[in-house]
Chain A
Amino acid sequence: MTELGTAFDFDAESPILVMEALCKNYQLGSVQLRVLREIDLTINSGEYVAIMGPSGSGKSTLLNMIGCLDRPSSGEYLLGGQSVADLDDDELSMIRGARIGFVFQSFNLIAQLNVVENIEIPMYYQGWSERDSEERARELATMVGLGDRVDHRPSELSGGQQQRVALARALSNDPLIILADEPTGNLDSQSGADILEILDRLHGEGKTLIVVTHDENIATCAERVIRLFDGRIAQEEFNKER
């Protein structure tokens, strides 16, 4: 186990995520596309942040940056006090597995695995023992209300249930950040509400949540809404009632 996987002792008071002058450019032929321009962003532990913005505003790219799926062209990115900008592929994989819990719009469960096995995936790559990871996966399944369906395949579950499995999977490694990309985008309103309720609950338990969405309903749930436009942070607002 590397020092990444296990405990890392960073000051709980210090911000969990820091971006400084972060830029991302794509080279399209001779044209340079500047997708993210000088993003400065600080997120503290336990915050519930919604990132909003129209298509093409750089939302997805920022999400990939935060999720360590991509590297910035310039600028600094500290996740849990550690600089991520110049890690190699294996180290990025480690960080994703240990510190980020992904929730996707289209659930992204693996079809040939059942509920428990899907929840186990991040723990598997972190080297958990089979017994420990299965026990934890069952607990998490129960927590999201699917304790009686642990042997079901994704195809045997409704969309809302699948997204709950995905949430359980995102929680399995006890990540620093739960990163959700349009988590209710493919769901009917009732299932969407269920998911939002679970997110709320997690926030109540002190988890750090970052949700990328263009659903204003989600935005009202979050403590803080960051609006992107043309690759810049155009507006930042705090919901006082939260």
Chain B
Amino acid sequence: MVFFRLKRTVKLGVKSLWMHRLRSTLTALGIIFGVSSVIAMLAIGEGASRDAQEKIAQLGSKNIIIKTAEPPEDQSAVGQQQTLREYGLTYADAERFQNGIPDVQVIVPNRRISQQALYRNHRVAIEVIGTVPWYPEISNTRVKFGRFLGSTDMHYKQGVCVVDERVVKELFAFDDPLGQDVKIASDYYRVVGVAAEAIQAKGGENLEAKDATGAEKAAGANVGGIYVPLTTVKERFGEMSLQITAGSGGTLERIELQEIIVQVRSINMVLGTRRSIETLLSRFHKKNDYEIVVPLELMRQARDFQRIFTIVLGSIAAISLLVGGIGIMNIMMATVSERTREIGIRRALGAKKRDIIFQFLSETLLLTLSGGVLGIALGSAVPLLVTHFGQMRTVITTSSLLLAFGISAAVGITFGLYPAYRAANMDPIESLRHE
């Protein structure tokens, strides 16, 4: 019986709301925008978060990345036209990590050099990454076609390379890159594989306010990468690089390695190993010429940042819902006083107080829940548009839909109860006399 009662009450509510279509629509708009902004904002926040998390996860949660950083300028060097600056990570460091720290499973030393690659008559800026055969496993880089560098390549210092997808796009256009020869500096390298685009372990960006590392500065903002055996790079490029500084000639720099990636055996060893590395490095590096990036820490920071972001966005959306709720309460109060006579009639014909409460509450709930459903529809459409036009990733989670729906129901009950209570407690005799 309760069910049939409910069905008829809902029918009655629909009729009453339908009588004032414009008013009902305008009232529901508050909830529609409130709910859709909750969903849209959470979707945008979630998308940004997942993006960040995935990028960081790709750096490897068991990894510690030690990078060469340009040290603060020496006092002695100031004023000299041309100097030789020697800094950064060395092969000795790599060896010390491998042998001196217990939990280290594997290390990857990398050399990064900013260069130009030539294929036929295309010339693009690229970054040569001198690395070792096990680089892909450590850095989660996927080899899409062909193969990665092998130990034979290392041993014989072969002139082979693996290009990333960005290079493929910029340099080869429609040709199959496998087996082609690419000219970098004065040598040719045969392409043996294609890798997915490399993710740069940037300590900077929005996560950590530190200077970009020397390697990145040299590599420029965003260029494709070409992987070459570390031994080949060492032999063909040497260890010097010329930095042209604005106006006053240039600086000759000697850097052995731009980056050493250390992978530990398990995630809970990351922070301890980081401390060991710091201690070790501080013993051998007098200049502050390195920087340690721990993806695990970045991940945690990103998560904290995301939480704040979600709270801020959520609060803004919640305020708009609150405003919508107050709008609903306002209209329901007006409706109740407008329908005083109807309330009197119903009371005279046998309606109990709770019947009246039920009637008005169900009207409010109908308004907010239909507003909630429309808001969910609109709120799901907005992130799609944002993704389409704003090139931003958005993720609509089921929990955000449920949350939005729950909130609209809660708003309906909270702001509907008082008007309904007022309606039920009117004196039936007075109400019947009401014009």
Q: A112-B19, A113-B15 are in contact. Are A93 and B351 (CB under 8 A)?
A: yes
Please give the number of chain B residues whose Cβ is less than 8 angstroms from any Cβ of chain A in the complex. Answer: 27
* Contact between chains at B15 and A112 (CB < 8 Å): yes
8 Å CB contact of B4 from A104, A113, A129: A129
Beta-carbon contacts under 8 Å, B379-435 to A: 428-429, 432
Q: A110-B342, A127-B1 are in contact. Are A94 and B349 (CB under 8 A)?
A: no
* Contact between chains at A125 and B349 (CB < 8 Å): yes
- Is B157 located at the chain interface by the 8 A CB criterion? no
Q: Which residue of B lies closest to A68 (CB)?
A: B348
- Is A121 located at the chain interface by the 8 A CB criterion? yes
Beta-carbon contacts under 8 Å, B1-46 to A: 1, 4-5, 7-8, 12, 15-16, 18-19
Q: Which residue of A lies closest to B433 (CB)?
A: A60
Nearest CB of A to B4, in Å: 6
8 Å CB contact of B349 from A70, A121, A129, A130: A121
* Contact between chains at B19 and A102 (CB < 8 Å): no
Q: Which residue of B lies closest to A101 (CB)?
A: B349
Q: Which residue of B lies closest to A124 (CB)?
A: B8
Tell me the interface secondary structure of chain B in the complex. helix
1/0 per residue A170-202: CB within 8 Å of B? 000100000000000000000000000000000
- Cα distance, A21 to B352, chains bound together (Å): 29
* Contact between chains at B350 and A93 (CB < 8 Å): yes
Most chain B CB inside 10 Å of its own CB: which residue of A90, A102, A124: A124
* Contact between chains at A69 and B349 (CB < 8 Å): no
* Contact between chains at B353 and A126 (CB < 8 Å): no
- Cα distance, A173 to B351, chains bound together (Å): 13
Most chain B CB inside 10 Å of its own CB: which residue of A93, A113, A124, A125: A93
* Contact between chains at A90 and B353 (CB < 8 Å): yes
* Contact between chains at B8 and A130 (CB < 8 Å): yes
* Contact between chains at A97 and B429 (CB < 8 Å): no
For chains A and B in complex, what number of residue pairs have CB atoms within 8 angstroms?
Answer: 69
Nearest CB of B to A191, in Å: 21
Residue numbers in A under 8 Å from B347 (CB-CB)? 69, 93, 96
* Contact between chains at A90 and B352 (CB < 8 Å): yes
- Cα distance, A70 to B427, chains bound together (Å): 9
Residue numbers in A under 8 Å from B342 (CB-CB)? 110-111
8 Å CB contact of B345 from A98, A108, A112, A129: A108
Q: Which residue of A lies closest to B431 (CB)?
A: A69
- Is B190 located at the chain interface by the 8 A CB criterion? no
* Contact between chains at A64 and B349 (CB < 8 Å): no
Q: A108-B341, A127-B1 are in contact. Are A97 and B349 (CB under 8 A)?
A: yes
- Cα distance, A93 to B428, chains bound together (Å): 10
- Cα distance, A70 to B15, chains bound together (Å): 31
Most chain A CB inside 10 Å of its own CB: which residue of B341, B346, B353: B346
Nearest CB of A to B201, in Å: 67
Residue numbers in A under 8 Å from B351 (CB-CB)? 93, 97, 125
Q: A129-B4, A130-B8 are in contact. Are A93 and B429 (CB under 8 A)?
A: no
- Cα distance, A127 to B349, chains bound together (Å): 13
* Contact between chains at A97 and B350 (CB < 8 Å): yes
Q: A70-B429, A124-B8 are in contact. Are A169 and B349 (CB under 8 A)?
A: yes
Q: A93-B350, A125-B346 are in contact. List 11 more A-B contacts (CB 8 A).
A: A90-B354, A93-B347, A93-B352, A102-B348, A110-B345, A124-B8, A125-B349, A125-B352, A125-B355, A127-B1, A130-B7
Chain B residues with CB under 8 Å of chain A are 1, 4-5, 7-8, 12, 15-16, 18-19, 341-342, 344-355, 428-429, 432
17 residue pairs A–B, Cβ–Cβ below 8 Å: A90-B353, A93-B355, A96-B349, A97-B350, A102-B348, A108-B341, A108-B345, A112-B18, A112-B19, A113-B12, A122-B349, A122-B350, A125-B349, A126-B350, A129-B4, A130-B4, A169-B349
